[in-house]
Chain A
């Protein structure tokens, strides 16, 4: 079985069956990543290009490892070393890559819609590795995988997404997927960081973190982009941490055994207290580990390999 899509751009249009298929496919690759020889020949002879217009270590490395463990040839392409600085458009860059017979292009870009624009212009499969504030589908899928791995069922699962929802592609992808899977999604943050109409996407809006955490099974923290302080979104990091930082005390407001997630990189002492990040409830490193398996699953399904 494979995904009947050329591209993976967004979780908004994915069906529950497609999401489930991706998670199940990741299961078999999770097993591979636990082996001593962490490599299978599934994508031998295929070429995966990581086209990253925004700095990223975690996501790029994760895709690179995933592709290599599937025996694909991997090229990393980033603007500092490319023709982008010479004024070439995104589409022309991608067409050049395509002309070199890339099977899959993994794109990270600072503009919402970049992956969709690219996908319309090339025959290669495009995987969105984050576009502006829009979506980060593979991150949400690895989050789902991690939740499921903890034995939690999505139906009626209570999840709090905490922080700068307005500027978060991770939040959007998770909201789309979790609502679709039947979870109750709460978003919490200062009103300046809650985008207009988010309730219409099925999320419940809270401005008070303590109230939002009451009874949840999953706490998903978002990274605070510290440079936004100057943009009148919040007065100081100090006040942000006091109002929206996840402390050990606050974790107790959630259901016993609740898990704490974070897409990374974390700001210790800002959105998450160090003792929470390092606690048993934290699954932050599991997310990273699962990222490779989930991306192996996605690359496998997108390549149409059987």
Chain B
């Protein structure tokens, strides 16, 4: 039966931006326009004052299954995704075992089908066990359904192995995603290196640890012609180098995470383990550079690096606690804050959450074009709410944004025309 989302502000980046109706039929977008003829017997969803956008696409999540189901499962992660407006998520392979073979990829896809919430697309490992030595069976991974390859959590330190991976990936037209961190420079570090790490006596990770690897990867992308995607860039140096690489026509895309354009290293004070992530929170200057990169298109994509950890893990001391925060359920309001700030137009904010990530990985997602899968989010852009981790759909609560008053609420999420999330009605 058809569904009509009526009278909302439809924003399909590059295609449609205005008040109109969206018709969903048979799981696909059937029509979109200012005036559409209502199919007989259609369910009408009134959307006046709402924003109607393509379901968001997150290129960077950690769903922890198999191996760390106490942190997150594919089911709980997908549930968190759709609550945050994400209808497609790409799962990093640093599970246990690592997703470096077809069997693990198939297992993940099976779990995703069983959850029947979001489109969960695995990312395969670049190297066996993500050990950075021998190439994983990238052809098999691609055939089984992996949409990209990465050893995320770790960089591929050996530049020859990275070169070969990029070359090999060309045969399958699969993007190569790197977590840019020179492990020697970063050794033992747990926050950004600078005045605050000096004050707190914490081992630092210099910005240069990221920059040197971005420089290397860009050079290798130029050498090989591979599709390079840079995960979670956090430094002014990275933004500068990506901008320069793009101007020279190198095939590189880059993502930034909401925490890296919202918070600085100041939040670490008090040894706050919820401010511990990798790459670490950087300086105010870096945050400005990330915003500039988002504004001028150097940074194509906003991704969450959703990294759930159990409470007892984050309750350890700062140096012992694991890196990472959850992000799926806070990404929308943090991105909309950039619109309020005048950094992004509403259209480019939506684009960086949907159309642009789909394009970066070559996914037929992130659009409301007629015939596309009806992955749609209805948002109340004015609704104010307070971040309460207890209400997260994720299994984990590790966010530095608890108690933040934010604006922009996901009301309804459709995946292939089916309602997979509805915001609870306030009591």
**Which residues of A are interface residues toward B (Cβ below 8 A)?**
12, 89-91, 109, 111-114, 116-117, 131-135, 166, 169, 172, 195-198, 200-201
Contact = CB atoms under 8 A, between A and B. Distances in A.
Q: Is the interface of B mostly helix, strand, loop or mixed?
A: loop
Contacts of A109: 317
A134 B320 CA distance: 15
Given A112-B202, A132-B201, A200 B316 contact: no
A195 B317 contact: no
Contacts of A12: 199
A117 B271 contact: yes
B402 interface: no
Contacts of A89: 312, 315-316
A132 B199 CA distance: 12
A134 B195 contact: no
Given A132-B202, A196-B194, A197-B198, 14 more contacts: A111-B320, A112-B318, A113-B317, A113-B319, A117-B271, A117-B317, A132-B319, A133-B202, A135-B201, A172-B199, A196-B193, A197-B194, A200-B195, A201-B195
B44 interface: no
Given A89-B312, A90-B316, A91-B315, A113 B195 contact: no
B204 to A, nearest CB: 7
Nearest to A90: B317
B253 interface: no
Interface in B184-216: 193-204
A201 B312 contact: no
Contacts of A198: 198
A201 B202 contact: no
27 contacts: A12-B199, A89-B312, A90-B317, A109-B317, A111-B318, A111-B320, A112-B200, A112-B202, A112-B318, A112-B319, A113-B271, A113-B319, A116-B271, A117-B318, A132-B202, A132-B319, A133-B203, A134-B201, A169-B201, A195-B198, A196-B193, A196-B195, A197-B195, A197-B198, A197-B199, A198-B198, A201-B198
Interface string B242-282: 00000000000000000000000000001100000000000
Interface residues of B, number: 21
Residue with the greatest number of chain A CB neighbours at <10 A, chosen from B193, B315, B317, B319: B317
Contacts of B317: 90, 109, 111, 113-114, 117
B197 to A, nearest CB: 7
B200 to A, nearest CB: 6
Contacts of B318: 111-113, 117
Contacts of A111: 317-320
A113 to B, nearest CB: 3
Contacts of A200: 195
Contacts of A112: 200-202, 271, 318-319
Interface in B291-316: 312, 315-316
A117 to B, nearest CB: 5
Sort A-B residue pairs by CB-CB distance and give the 10 closest, nearest first: A134-B201, A113-B271, A197-B195, A133-B201, A195-B198, A112-B201, A111-B319, A113-B318, A111-B317, A197-B198
Contacts of B201: 112, 131-135, 169, 172
Interface in B318-332: 318-320
Contacts of A196: 193-195, 197-198, 204
A223 B45 CA distance: 72
B8 to A, nearest CB: 46
A113 B320 CA distance: 10
A197 B197 CA distance: 9
Contacts of A91: 315
Given A109-B317, A113-B318, A117-B271, A134 B202 contact: yes
Contacts of B319: 111-113, 132
A196 B200 CA distance: 12
A89 B203 CA distance: 21
Interface string B320-361: 100000000000000000000000000000000000000000
Contacts of A90: 316-317
Contacts of A201: 195, 198-199
Contacts of B195: 196-197, 200-201
Contacts of B316: 89-90, 117
A129 B131 CA distance: 39
Contacts of B200: 112-113, 134
A252 B196 CA distance: 36
